[in-house]
Structure 1
């Protein structure tokens, strides 16, 4: 037994040093201290000597640079260059234009959670709050989504005028140019509130404030371009759109076939140097009504008018709508959510070089410009739209489920409905926290490439899941369209967010982990740069430093993963309060798992990893849910750690960690090199998967929160339009909840007495008369029950129409014989 003691001491010293990420020299000192103790305590001297020799054989080559670099680093550098994933120009630009915020901590295996908690709580300025309480509230009040989607297939003129007059298109434009100069948080709050009443209006407002001429001009425009266009964009004099996507270049934007040839031509009566453009774009939001078109194209200079480069690359331009040769105005019809969207065409359209965004200095840099602006825009518009819809759906559906009764019981009391309500509430909480966290990252100055992809994918996915559950709970109320329907158009529009700004399948499979593992990993990017350094010695020195830092990092995460798996992440220091400390410990575990799996995948698969989209998607899920849960905990603490919110946080957290373990399990079971997958399973899941989906008791608590007035429900509803006005059926239903709950005891008393009586009255009014005469209820209680009946009827009533009201107006433009209407023909 004494023979094994030195070996055990060696392993424990190594594990301790690796867990705490100590330097190699510190490990050596700890190991020899342990071996001396073994010697003095009577362990086998021979075994102790053997372990000491092993320690020296490991330590000396690693600690002496003169030995380490030629013996180890140089061969490994040669190998690394061979397995280094080849990066296309598209990928390289995407990596170079992004920045890393707190998401980089999630790849370390030991995130500094205190840094997250120390970020200032996102807050609006007084001016921004006034805008939300004033113009945004008024815009929501005047928005009639049924008229927009069914009658006009557009915003009515007075809504367009209000949006322009109040500078909704100028939220991101600086005040010096006449814009509002709002923060990303305010931008998020505005879109979220509008989206809770109409996705058409939120899209109309959101697009000019995300990827479009305004943002591009603010970042890259020449002084002349800024001075002329930004004030016109801010006050609505110009309505912008941006043409990127075409029939043969959707997600692969760098392969756009649209081109521009440098040449001379006529512009405003003068012969000037410019570009002749040929383009075919589709899916362009606001195109049919746009007066200013931003355009991405590939620029060529065959005659060398600008220099020696013939294929200049992707360039961005501004085209006034009335430019000769531009064809614009027809519309697409996106899933009965008729925001202005359509194609743009042009053949040999001439513009001067002064119409290139940024002028001649920015030619060929269009993809860099788009990547930077796309990351910011994708962080706001789509996540905020999904968040607004999910939050509104949660509170209104909770009210509906309490008011609507079947079998003498609120439908929300049935366990099957409780499950759906819990999913709605938990995902609305998660989507809201994720959207706000990503907007806050933008305000901190980040260009959050990875978080924007996470927020876009998961918010829109959760938004679709929420509206699907909403439709299941409200049943017939949801499937009959009309002015009283608060959910049908949201359900129809849900796939739009899934599809645009990078389809969700591509975002999950390629972007989230594919960018994250290189951009956010603490060592990979530095190793890649060192390997590509043309100065051999400088590259070798940099690679040596980063490589062995990376090796120690990987060993540490293997040890941490195994330790957390053995202990269930119940031991260790963590920030937070008594409630959230356990959550942070779990996230420490999954961060170590992610870091370990990332390193193993890179080492084993090399450049092939970028083609393993299933593995990349699963590891992206792990990264996403760690980021999302950290956002939820941050929100919980920012709001003062309210006990009332704990069921929502707990449901969303346990749902995420269950999905994290499912993703890790699937990645390991399907790892391309099976023995490596088995070994990683032993390190990550020594006792098997332990996380489970939220249980029934927790789901019951979340459902109960949605079905009764309380502070947690009010916080969840914060920032969405719940004013019970004529154009807001959801707001009206929500306003009935308190009165319905107050009447429930009277209703139960009345129905019990009615059941045990022998009265013959069949209609409700007569039954109430009998109830008052028999003394079951008072006259005041009768009035209360009548009011309950009315608000219940208003809650559950659906619309009906004369047949002609459902026909498109263009139907009546046809000759009677072509309508298929025999009465009209007669």
Structure 2
């Protein structure tokens, strides 16, 4: 056997070992076997073999005898690692430790266990939860007039507030043992989604107490006495909660709050008790104007050691519950954030409260940040994704009606290629949003996935912005004229609210998704940091060599899968979706390699490279989005319509991931690393392309049809508001059109070809029947279609007195004139 043959066999063997990820001891044995093979084939002589063997033995001993390895190799590395490790504040540590890692970790680590995704069960709605959707939610939606809420009353009607309280909408997350509804996260998500398709103000009012609020904090951390005092009122609605976190100087960076609490003695109910003196100024607080109990976050200090620890004065962020009528509390004026939901200010100066009002009691002093982060991460995966999904479901269903029935240049506008660009995106993103909603909400039912919920919040609200903008573009004048008929204007105005709250999207993308994900999802990074913090060399040694093997394996896997177009990657399914599973595995391996190389090259500087961090976060996010779509498709009936929507969504996610990788590599500050990254991630170029015009047109056409996907991705839209409801009139028109459209199209063709005469539509239809070009029944159906068609495209108009605030003087539009105008067009 020649030397070339031996070396070739060795290279192939080592490549396979690296691709598989074999242990260090096998690598050691393999190199020993190579030396022996080279000596036996005469490739090296006895002297070279002896020298090489001696070197091999020394290196093998250092690498495999752990006490020796720690003394000679790992110890010095450990010393350098501890020096260069960036400092981490307590709040940063608490944020990192809060919550759980879930499927996103599989996508980050480069070798996803697909069974974990495919075997995962969506949270099924119980009979009670489904009944609540079908009855209580339906009734609440029927009680609301969104136009009057937003334009006239700037509030929910009193009867709606009463119903919300009575039916426990504000206590969906409170467990049944405390009298609440005890709904799953998926059920809460479905409720908020359905309500939001009717009224954003109603949905926000319901979702906030079920997201970040006193109820959840009490359930998780409250003392028995606090639960007994507050939970019954929160359940029956006699207590309305709000939570004061943000303020003039405090937005997404809650740790910067200047609000203070000082431990001291003071008078309460005529007695001297240990308590806190609070000074705070809170803004942007939802439900504040009507709240009866206020959760407050503030920075606690104990200068005199009254809490018992004389060595500790700075406790950090703490949370307390304070009655809104407590002496010194000032509930300020309302904000108006683009919608009528209650939002306002809370202030107080030198307010004294007993120490027992700290949520969880004095033992939880200084633990408020951990409490808030954990509760925010769960709520972030339910409420705002639900609002985004509502926008997607409404846009899919309503834009489909409008684009099919609105005609320009004698063609349905939904058939214009320019319009199909927008309607194709609406269809694809609506499918994506529902896939993400149900997977993320179901995940929250099983754990507290902090990174997944950040991904969902950011990307779903951004997709909401795109869907709403596209819907407004398609409807044009129909969309911008506000009034009782308009089902998009409120969503358009309030989209920035979803973008901003619970962590502004700029912050979430640039700092949280990858910044938190890289450390929490990585198999080795956070444990290595913890080993350094604890000065545990033994643990660090094990982690370091595991990390090195991990990095080599992912680099080789990424390169190999890139060279083969992911054809040798694993797919848990066969058929149309199998290439997507393989592509995701390839991109997952690439992300793991690039993240490792980036952290190794930039170290602590990566913390300040926000645009780079954001792009790697985009890659991780798109892998999660694609996973959600794959899961959703596999759980569906796999029809042709479903396949088209899923393919659009997956092509879009992979293109966005590839684009993010390209931009990351192009902007990486170290030249040699750019070369290595490009060679490994895109060894034969980036083959991910935008969705084709053909596929976009296909799902745009499906948007205009009654398909299984239409029902699946818009099942939560409130449809039963009647003919005077913004959505109800569109639903009525759609149902009528299913029966009458063929007759109308027949008439339309006759009218535009000049085969029938008459000035008004009724005259033309009569002429068609007279000439036996249409039957009487067809003429009746065509007239019925034309009536609902016109109702679909009509916009509202108002008297100047009404717009000036005299809401009793709306009057009636000039219907005869409008009918006459309709009669002149076909």
Structure 2 length-normalised TM: 0.94
- The alpha carbon displacement at 1:369 in A equals 0.8
Paired with 1:380 and 1:429, the residues of 2 have a C-alpha distance of 17
Task: Please tell me whether the aligned partners of residues 196 and 720 of structure 1 are also in contact (alpha carbons under 8 angstroms).
Answer: yes
Q: Which residue of 1 aligns with 2:333?
A: 330
Superposition pairs for residues 461-610 of structure 1, below 5 Å?
A: 461-534=462-535, 539-610=536-607
Task: Please tell me whether the aligned partners of residues 612 and 664 of structure 2 are also in contact (alpha carbons under 8 angstroms).
Answer: yes
Give the stretch that moved more between structures: 219-228 or 322-331: 322-331
Q: Which residue of 1 aligns with 2:300?
A: 299
Superposition pairs for residues 662-811 of structure 1, below 5 Å?
A: 662-726=659-723, 728-757=725-754, 760-808=757-805
Q: Which residue of 2 aligns with 1:265?
A: 266
- CA deviations over 1:604-628 (Å, ceiling 9, x no partner): 0111011000010000000111111
Task: Please tell me whether the aligned partners of residues 191 and 205 of structure 1 are also in contact (alpha carbons under 8 angstroms).
Answer: yes
- Secondary structure of the structure 2 residue equivalent to 1:211: coil
Q: State which of 414, 417, 426 in structure 2 corresponds to 1:415.
A: 417
Task: Please tell me whether the aligned partners of residues 197 and 728 of structure 1 are also in contact (alpha carbons under 8 angstroms).
Answer: no
- Secondary structure of the structure 2 residue equivalent to 1:775: coil
Paired with 1:666 and 1:795, the residues of 2 have a C-alpha distance of 44
Cα distance change, pair 322–38 in 1 and its aligned pair in 2 (3 A): same
| Root mean square deviation of aligned Cα | 2.2
- CA deviations over 1:182-231 (Å, ceiling 9, x no partner): 11111111111111111111100000001011000011111011011111
Q: Does 1:241 align with 2:238?
A: no
Q: Which residue of 2 aligns with 1:661?
A: 658
Paired with 1:695 and 1:230, the residues of 2 have a C-alpha distance of 54
Cα distance change, pair 53–469 in 1 and its aligned pair in 2 (3 A): farther
Paired with 2:55 and 2:664, the residues of 1 have a C-alpha distance of 35
Q: State which of 427, 430, 434 in structure 1 corresponds to 2:429.
A: 427
- The alpha carbon displacement at 1:39 in A equals 8.0
Paired with 2:254 and 2:551, the residues of 1 have a C-alpha distance of 36
- The alpha carbon displacement at 1:424 in A equals 0.7
Q: State which of 390, 396, 399 in structure 1 corresponds to 2:392.
A: 390
Task: Please tell me whether the aligned partners of residues 169 and 233 of structure 1 are also in contact (alpha carbons under 8 angstroms).
Answer: yes
Task: Please tell me whether the aligned partners of residues 431 and 458 of structure 1 are also in contact (alpha carbons under 8 angstroms).
Answer: no
Paired with 1:490 and 1:56, the residues of 2 have a C-alpha distance of 70
Paired with 1:248 and 1:667, the residues of 2 have a C-alpha distance of 32
Paired with 1:87 and 1:136, the residues of 2 have a C-alpha distance of 46
Paired with 1:316 and 1:657, the residues of 2 have a C-alpha distance of 42
Superposition pairs for residues 80-119 of structure 1, below 5 Å?
A: 80-119=81-120
Superposition pairs for residues 65-464 of structure 1, below 5 Å?
A: 65-307=66-308, 308=310, 309-335=312-338, 337-444=339-446, 446-464=447-465
Paired with 1:274 and 1:602, the residues of 2 have a C-alpha distance of 46
Paired with 2:117 and 2:521, the residues of 1 have a C-alpha distance of 16
Cα distance change, pair 37–137 in 1 and its aligned pair in 2 (3 A): farther
Superposition pairs for residues 619-658 of structure 1, below 5 Å?
A: 619-658=616-655
Paired with 1:52 and 1:732, the residues of 2 have a C-alpha distance of 85
Task: Please tell me whether the aligned partners of residues 314 and 367 of structure 1 are also in contact (alpha carbons under 8 angstroms).
Answer: yes
Give the stretch that moved more between structures: 97-106 or 147-156: 97-106
- Secondary structure of the structure 2 residue equivalent to 1:334: coil
Cα distance change, pair 760–136 in 1 and its aligned pair in 2 (3 A): closer
- The alpha carbon displacement at 1:543 in A equals 0.8
- The alpha carbon displacement at 1:274 in A equals 1.4
Paired with 2:59 and 2:424, the residues of 1 have a C-alpha distance of 54
Cα distance change, pair 791–528 in 1 and its aligned pair in 2 (3 A): same
Give the stretch that moved more between structures: 295-304 or 421-430: 295-304
Task: Please tell me whether the aligned partners of residues 142 and 727 of structure 1 are also in contact (alpha carbons under 8 angstroms).
Answer: no
Task: Please tell me whether the aligned partners of residues 709 and 737 of structure 1 are also in contact (alpha carbons under 8 angstroms).
Answer: no
Task: Please tell me whether the aligned partners of residues 152 and 807 of structure 2 are also in contact (alpha carbons under 8 angstroms).
Answer: no
Cα distance change, pair 360–66 in 1 and its aligned pair in 2 (3 A): closer
Paired with 1:661 and 1:399, the residues of 2 have a C-alpha distance of 35
Q: Which residue of 1 aligns with 2:812?
A: none
Paired with 1:627 and 1:517, the residues of 2 have a C-alpha distance of 14
Paired with 2:146 and 2:59, the residues of 1 have a C-alpha distance of 70
- The alpha carbon displacement at 1:2 in A equals 4.8
- CA deviations over 1:449-505 (Å, ceiling 9, x no partner): 111110110111000110000001111110000000011111111111001111000
Give the stretch that moved more between structures: 112-121 or 143-152: 112-121
- Secondary structure of the structure 1 residue equivalent to 2:335: coil
Mind listing any 5+ residue stretches in structure 2 that lack a counterpart?
810-826
- The alpha carbon displacement at 1:58 in A equals 5.8
Cα distance change, pair 138–54 in 1 and its aligned pair in 2 (3 A): farther
Task: Please tell me whether the aligned partners of residues 122 and 438 of structure 2 are also in contact (alpha carbons under 8 angstroms).
Answer: no
- CA deviations over 1:363-391 (Å, ceiling 9, x no partner): 11111111111111111111111111211
Structure 1 length-normalised TM: 0.94
- Secondary structure of the structure 1 residue equivalent to 2:132: helix
Task: Please tell me whether the aligned partners of residues 171 and 180 of structure 1 are also in contact (alpha carbons under 8 angstroms).
Answer: yes
Task: Please tell me whether the aligned partners of residues 747 and 782 of structure 2 are also in contact (alpha carbons under 8 angstroms).
Answer: no
Task: Please tell me whether the aligned partners of residues 9 and 35 of structure 1 are also in contact (alpha carbons under 8 angstroms).
Answer: no
- CA deviations over 1:733-776 (Å, ceiling 9, x no partner): 13422432443433333233334446552221111111111111
Paired with 1:531 and 1:7, the residues of 2 have a C-alpha distance of 40
Paired with 1:170 and 1:158, the residues of 2 have a C-alpha distance of 18
Q: How many residues align?
A: 805
- The alpha carbon displacement at 1:132 in A equals 0.8
Cα distance change, pair 709–724 in 1 and its aligned pair in 2 (3 A): farther
- The alpha carbon displacement at 1:641 in A equals 4.0
- Secondary structure of the structure 1 residue equivalent to 2:381: helix
Give the stretch that moved more between structures: 128-137 or 11-20: 11-20
Task: Please tell me whether the aligned partners of residues 144 and 727 of structure 1 are also in contact (alpha carbons under 8 angstroms).
Answer: no
Paired with 2:724 and 2:326, the residues of 1 have a C-alpha distance of 40
Cα distance change, pair 100–757 in 1 and its aligned pair in 2 (3 A): closer
Give the stretch that moved more between structures: 391-400 or 54-63: 54-63
Paired with 1:694 and 1:541, the residues of 2 have a C-alpha distance of 50
Cα distance change, pair 58–19 in 1 and its aligned pair in 2 (3 A): farther
